[in-house]
Amino acid sequence: MFKCVTIITMKRLYYKRLLAWKQAGAKKPLLVQGVRQAGKTYLIEQFCREQYNTPVVVNLLDNREVIKLYQENINAEEKFRALQLLLETNLMQPGTILFVDEVQESEEFISALKFLNEQHPSVPIICAGSLLGVKLKRFKKSFPVGKVFLETMRPMGFEEFLIACNKQLWIEEIRTCFAVNKKMPLPLHNQLLNLYRTFLCVGGMPEAVSDYVCKDFNLARFDHHIISAITQAHQNDMAKYVTSLNEAVKIGKVFNSIPAQMNNIAGKFQYSRIVKGARRQAYETAIDWLLAAHMVLESVRVTIPEKPLNGFANNDYFRLFISDMGIALKMLNISFADVLSSNMGQFMGAIAENYVATELDKLNVPLRHWTSGNTAEVDFLLETDTGVIPVEVKAGDNVRAKSLRHYIEKYHPPYAIRVSSKNFGMENGIKSIPLYAVFCLDS
């Protein structure tokens, strides 16, 4: 059967970060964490092939000999020499790079990165793993603090989706309209909203986007089983790096409760919605596991929207989002037809908020929100040089927002942002941004 290979050549914006690491001298090993199937292995292997003469790739799920080597009771230099013999490569040869995939399988190797950084800084090393974040949260060895760069690679965002759809010129026009508050020509605006809805269906997992591209951008031919398989893989991961089967069950229950809580009238995650009578103490560890695995995102409530926002964060009140839109819609069991026709009932607003949360996370924006008792709520807050900017999210073009107006009157921000299906514009101190342009907030 023909299998699409477009995934290998799709442009990923994280590639620029890898280049920056190399151009800065690659003096510290780079640890790349992120949710399973986000494309870490493909992109890093591509980077190693294109940027180095001799890429050396080791997957610790396949190469158990490296794991056994670093469990040996010999000194770090002897392990390094033995590693080169096992790999049949002089890692100190200029133009060579070592990529260790699924590195979470060996705490000993991760711990040894301190030695490699101090004694062999000329050896470029990248490590990655789909559950690396979980493993690091439960690390028992001596972690190489200050000796490595730890970064997160996310699924594809809407900008990358547009690039995959050959819409690079459209991206330029979106950024221009954003910068000067100029309305997008209506035919383009409507097409971009359709692409946004399509992105909700496909999501940002590279395998899913690749299939959509290979099917000539025809959503009717898209293999929805890809998202089902990825979701099942996430479910299977919940039994890894846990203290007991009971913890794995709790992780699954929390994860499965999130879609139903997206539209929670309480405006916060409720433990009682997991199972009747559930308490925080019993499920805190499960939530930490999901956050470390990057399967979910957390937005913390802020009591006073002033800089620094972290100083006013109340961690007792938070919201959880699914980190990929394709998975979120699959868990909600919403049909593509209903998404494309915006026939999602009461969940339209919640889905738009989840989408904006994933886009902001890809911009490395900490997720924060504000509420005033039960009278007002602002979906997101941006901490900028000019002050705290409130962000209100609306799924449609009915943008009347009492909460945002209440916030503006109370706190007088430099301006406010409304994300909706309306066109670009600026009116009464509120900057209108279409849902397809959230990625422009990187500016």
Q: Please give the Cα distance from 109 to 79 (Å, whole number).
A: 10
128 with 188, same domain?
A: no
SS3 49: helix
Residue 132, domain CATH: 3.40.50.300
Shared-domain flag, residues 140 and 65: yes
Does residue 247 sit within a domain? Answer: yes
Domain that holds residue 252: 162-442
Q: Which of 87, 118, 152 is the last residue of a domain?
A: 152
Give a yes or no: residue 157 inside a domain.
no
Q: How far is it, in rounded angstroms, from Cα 134 to Cα 48?
A: 25
**So what's the pLDDT on residue 386?**
92
1 belongs to a structural domain: no
Regarding whether 62 and 207 lie in a shared domain, the answer is no
Through-space distance between the first and last CA atoms of the chain, rounded to whole angstroms: 44
Whether residues 120 and 251 fall in one domain: no
CA distance 328 to 322: 6
Task: Please list the helix, strand and coil fractions of the chain in percent, rounded to the nearest 5, in that order.
Answer: 50, 15, 35
Last residue of a domain, one of 119, 134, 152: 152
211 and 166 inside one domain = yes
In sign, the C-alpha dihedral spanning 132, 133, 134, 140 is: positive
> What are 419-434's pLDDT values in tens digits?
999 999 999 999 999 9
pTM: 0.94
The pLDDT value recorded for residue 254 is 97
11 domain residue, yes or no: yes
The total number of residues shown for the chain amounts to 443
- Per the structure, how many domains does the chain have? 2
CB burial class (10 A; 0-12, 13-18, 19+) of residue 22?
Answer: middle
Q: Divide the 443 residues of the chain into consecutive groups of 10 and give the mean pLDDT of each group.
A: 50 96 96 96 97 98 96 97 97 97 97 97 96 93 93 97 96 98 98 98 97 96 96 95 94 95 85 91 96 97 95 94 96 93 87 97 96 84 96 85 90 96 96 98 88
Q: Is the domain of 173 the same as that of 219?
A: yes
Task: Based on the fold, state whether residues 293 and 374 are members of the same structural domain.
Answer: yes
Residue where a domain stops, chosen among 97, 118, 152: 152
Shortest CA distance to 378 belongs to which of 308, 442, 319?
319
Per-residue pLDDT, 287 = 97
On whether both 124 and 228 belong to a single domain, the answer is no
Count of Cβ atoms closer than 10 Å to residue 285 Cβ:
15
Same domain (yes/no): 313, 343: yes
